[in-house]
Amino acid sequence: MSGMKRRLCCAGSAGVVVAALCLVAMPVLAQNSAAQGEKPPTQRIAGGFDKVAILPPGGPAPRSSDGHPDLTGRYYPNHAGRMIEGAYPIDRSITRQYDPAVTPQENPVFKPEAAAKFKEPTPYGSCPPGGTPTSITTQATEHGPMELVQKPGVLWVLSEFPQTIRRIPVDGSPHPKDPDPTFNGDSRAHWDGDTLVVDTIAIDTRMRNISVGIPGDAAAWLHSDQEHVIERFSRPSKNYVTYQVHVEDPIVLVKPFTSAPLTWSLAQDPNDVWTEYICTGNEDADTWKNMDKKVKDEYEKAK
């Protein structure tokens, strides 16, 4: 997938509107043609949405030299092996990462005294950095991919937006005794059978948990310095990776939160590659200088 195609996620709504208009208008045109005695035109669906389908398993998962599943690949948070926006006119079972009737998920339960302090939507127009586990979970609404690169003793996790690079040792080493907080946190991984278990602590408290349990930026929530995240990666077949996240935070949550096993599918286009995707906060000096004075004053008072 080229950079141009990838950026359609931001401008895609216009394309979806056009496609929707085509879908609505064509039956009307057909009726009018039939009424006039003309042969109705062949109905076509713009955007290739009629070709979007649930992928088959694709055979067994590849194995690395140590016998464990090789997680390497570029994956999308759906069953189609390609980028799909929520507005695409397709069967919703294709975009659903889990079936609540089969694997129910209970949303995070916040302590009453913590809810007002830690439940904080992402400010509109800001460009918050990614982190653990948000860079992965936020793709439930961003619809972007994650790319896993598995090498002996290490797993790399790459995401386009928010652009994040995680290097996770898979060598049995322990967390440092006093790690410096970072947005990705300090991650250490080990294999539990065919499942890679990633244990992360020391996550910067400015990092919002987005789509961790409750989808979307509006339901984002902050965490305390005691947050502890455990992620599980498995590859049941060639075309699929399963991701599950467990979050412990005794300051914010009544009890630990565990997501349902979430489905990700392997990119099917051989030209689908990781691309640069940058968010800017429009903080250019000229932009600020030319901004409405009332807006600037309100912003300064709120700081």
Token representation of residue 119: 């439940």
- How confident is the model at residue 273, as a pLDDT? 84
Name the CA dihedral angle for 106, 110, 115, 121, rounded to a multiple of 10 degrees.
-30
The H or E element that residue 17 is part of is helix 8-35
Report whether 92 contacts 250 (CB < 8 A).
no
Token representation of residue 52: 């979007």
- How confident is the model at residue 49, as a pLDDT? 76
Token representation of residue 104: 């129910």
* Rounded alpha-carbon distances, angstroms, from residue 278 to 10, 27, 49, 85, 159: 12, 41, 27, 19, 11
Is the bond leading into 57 cis (omega within 30 degrees of zero)? no
Tens digit of pLDDT per residue, the chain (303 long)? 443 344 333 333 333 333 332 333 333 333 333 344 444 444 444 567 778 999 999 999 999 999 999 999 999 999 999 999 878 889 989 999 999 999 999 999 999 999 899 998 888 777 878 899 999 999 999 999 999 999 999 999 999 989 999 999 999 899 999 999 999 999 999 999 999 999 999 999 999 999 999 999 999 999 999 999 999 999 999 999 999 999 999 999 999 999 999 999 999 999 998 888 888 765 565 666 777 888 878 877 775
CA end-to-end span of the chain: 41
- How confident is the model at residue 284, as a pLDDT? 60
Question: Closest by alpha carbon to 222, among 243, 251, 188?
Answer: 251
- How confident is the model at residue 40, as a pLDDT? 41
- How confident is the model at residue 287, as a pLDDT? 67
DSSP structural state of residue 78: S
